[in-house]
Amino acid sequence: MGHKIFSILLVVLNGSCQAKAEVELKGELKKWHRVEISFEGPDTGEMDENKPFLNYRLDVTFENQGKSYTVPGFYAADGNAAETSTDSGNIWKVRFSPDEIGEWSYSASFKKGGNIAIENTPNAESAGFMDGQQGIFTIADTDKTGKDNRAKGRLNYVGKSYLRFAETGDYFIKLGVDAPENLLDYEDFDASTNALGFRKNWQPHAKDFGADAEEFVWKDNKGKNLLGAINYLAIEELNCYGATHINSPHLDRLASEGTLFSRAYCNVPVCGASRASILTGARPTRYRFIDYKTKKEVDMPRAIGLPMTFKNNGYTTISNGKVYHHESDDKMAWDEIWRPRGNIRDYLLEENVQLNARKGKRGAAYEAANVNDTAYFDGKIANKGIKDLERLKDGGKPFFLALGFMKPHLPFNAPTKYWDMYDIKNIRLPENYQRPVTIPSEAYHNSGELRSYDAIPKEGDLSKEAAMNLIHGYYASVSYVDAQIGRVLQVLKNLGLAENTIVVLWGDHGYNLAEHKMWCKHCTFETSMRAPLLVKVPGITTGKKSEAITEFIDIYPSLCELAGIEPPVELEGKSFVPLLQGKTREKDYAISKFKDAVALIKGDLFYTEWVDDKGEAYARMLFDHSNDPLELDNLAEKEEFATTVASLSEALHANWGKDFLIDVNGQAE
């Protein structure tokens, strides 16, 4: 690994994009029961020129002890189109009923090309995303009996008039009003008693009824819903119901060439402390890396930071934009430090400039200006990075170039064209826009960072209009910074540097967009802790996704291993290079801390303790993401989870770091 000298390009997002969801596997994982796997693929729609049903092809191969089945997948829009009626999204699914117990593996093939869905094209172009995605699941024997048909096995066509169950050999005969074929069991046809509630009404398709079908309705204007359903199946143009996904083609392209860590977690969900932790490879403690004002030189002055390690090994080190939170922090580690100049919140509209100039005040929380990309800071940071690459190309030394982009941090400022990529009518509040009473009050905050901006109320819920505008601005900011990253990566390629440069992109923390009625970060819900981490290593990464739990203190030792540099012995993270190589590693947890809250992420369990100076817990929170991914049901105080809580608490205390309860002067508590 250490024989080839790589240059390093760090791309840091301020405020971070919300990390994309990982592969989702649903079902009871039992013989003959349906297993459904959902993948995140390209964001597209039924009316896109590059039609998802025709120009993409998903095939998933399932294998078990010599048996192999290749099952075609399908485009599923937002993953719940049957309920939402939407025609766009980025979810692709495959369904399979395993016919053996034991361990099954799956491997996804995702290709693109003209008419590929209906043609065999052996050498088709990879579509990226889940192409090559692999996984394993274990199937138990079915526990169904009696009339539950899953006890009888898969239905097979055996050349007879009826299908036959593979397990029992019985024939399948479907009768009754709930038979799918029974179109006449429709409320405008059938006046009999609806005893079992099976009668259909086709209500979701009322909106699809066309005025040109008026002549076909019958007595008392009946039949409109059914005719709407038929119209829905026949028309070529459908309404768009919620294209809320982020437009980020350049980040998607980077992911298709690198490794995307779908379960990467920051160690502190606040910008200054998170950056100091990442760049020193050290965990936060009760007295170190506390808030946005954190300075590495104050909290860990003797630590050798990541840029200094590379500088000491012959690299040219350059910091552009916001890398450490404070421009002068760890300044001896850099050959050059540069930041764009101007009002710190980068307003361009005069109204906001004037509002921001008032002492102790800020302008609006978002801004759309009809300007080109380089008018805002991130366009300038990209320009500076491009100029650096052009002069570093012939510099004769490897480089460690860090680009700290300002977005998508508040205020959400971006050129108008990026706002225009999204229709605010399609933006929705998150599903977990609520605060369950079972969750401790310590888990919530008042979104104080947002409250300091003009026109934002100091207390209470935001208006729906304000919330939609903020989410709209966040999306626009992500697409804007995506375009700037794309410009830099294109120049890296054009200069012939891409094949000898490791690219690492991370966001310093996650972000709340009204989840649990909160905004920004500053908590230990997953939305604040989970953040993007993309790593591209020439000759190693190939567009795969790692589902292994990773934390940001793992970045420092990983880059040292990739560059063949001996890391400082004090580092608390563990290299994720084995994961880049498609292997496994022993470490399987992450720990994140904000103020008194310390969270352990292990498997599907997210456990938080609020502790005092002695490390004793005074509040707890536990979520099981296997059945509560929205984090609405706190299990920590339920008697049946007492053993689980005790085990997680022990693991948390054992791994939160040997210095966790030691103050800044080294005095043990």
Task: Say which residues have a Cβ less than 8 Å from residue 624's Cβ, sequence separation at least 6.
Answer: 604, 605, 635
d(CA 189, CA 374): 63
Of 205, 250, 325, 326, which residue is the catalytic one?
325
CB 445 within 8 A of CB 522: yes
Give the neighbor-by-neighbor strand order of the sheet with 533-536. Answer: 336-338, 316-321, 399-405, 7-13, 501-507, 533-536, 259-261, 544-546
At residue 508, φ and ψ (nearest 5 deg) are: -70, -15
- By the 10 Å C-beta count (0-12 exposed, 13-18 middle, 19+ buried), 601 is classed as buried
User: Which candidate in 245, 250, 266, 271 is catalytic?
Assistant: 271
Residue located via tokens 């579509």: 127
Angle in degrees, CA 538, 539, 540, rounded to 5:
95
Alpha helix locations (H) across 505-641?
A: 526-529, 555-563, 577-580
Mark whether 325 is an active-site residue: yes
Residue with tokens 């608390």: 572
List strand residue ranges (DSSP E) for 490-604, in order: 501-507, 512-513, 519-520, 533-536, 544-546, 550-551, 589-594, 597-602
Measured between alpha carbons, how far is 15 from 521 in angstroms, rounded to an integer? 8
Locate 438 and state its tokens.
């079972």
Q: In sequence order, what are the beta bridge partners of 503? A: 9, 536
DSSP assignment letter at 599: E
Q: In angstroms, rounded to a whole number, what is the distance separating the alpha carbons of residues 419 and 472?
A: 7
* Torsion region of 281: left, alpha or beta (phi above 0 gives left; psi -120 to 50 gives alpha): left
Residue 628 pairs in a beta bridge with: none
Residue 50: alpha-carbon gap to chain centroid: 24
Q: How many C-beta atoms lie closer than 10 Å to residue 258's C-beta? A: 25
- d(CA 406, CA 12) in angstroms, rounded, equals 9
In angstroms, the CA 489 to CA 498 distance is 8
Taking the alpha carbons at both ends of the chain, their separation in whole angstroms is: 42
Q: Tokens 């593979």 — which residue?
A: 166
Instruction: Look at the block and give the residue holding tokens 């509209």.
Output: 349
Q: How far apart are CA 33 and CA 20, in angstroms?
A: 28
Rounded distance, CA 185 to CA 266, Å? 54
Stretch (H or E) spanning 624 = strand 617-624
Structure-token match 């790692």, residue found: 546
Q: How many whole angstroms separate alpha carbon 330 and alpha carbon 296?
A: 7
Gap between the Cα atoms of 50 and 40, Å rounded = 17
Active site (catalytic) residues: 271, 325
